[in-house]
Amino acid sequence: MDKLQLHGLSFYAHHGLFEEEAKLGQRFVVDMTCWADLSKPSLSDAYEDTICYGKLAKTVEAVVTQQRFNLLERLGGAICEAVFAADHRIARISVTINKPGAPVPVHAGGFSVQINRERA
């Protein structure tokens, strides 16, 4: 199975458990890998045969910026659901959401959650 990867998609959004997170917002960074059969576009070199990574990025952006979730786990699940709906050729997804500004009492480079889903 072939992979299509998107790295470092960065969005400002309002996810989190705390009222301050909902009010102030913060940055979220998303990395995503989608598994699909890319043999047709690898032979044809035709745009219409491939999965548009721009469309995938816009799909992720819409979920991250237009909805609100308490948990990164639910945000990751919603991204997977939306990406599966966006292109039927995607068989498997791994999405990692990094929250670099998580409100925790220790200095950290960020916290992340990785969600892995396969099409039913």
Active site residues: 99
69 SS3 class: coil
- Cα–Cα distances (Å) from 44 to 53, 54, 76, 120, in that order, read 17, 20, 33, 29
d(CA 29, CA 11): 6
Phi and psi based region of residue 70 (left: phi greater than 0; alpha: psi -120 to 50; beta: remaining): alpha
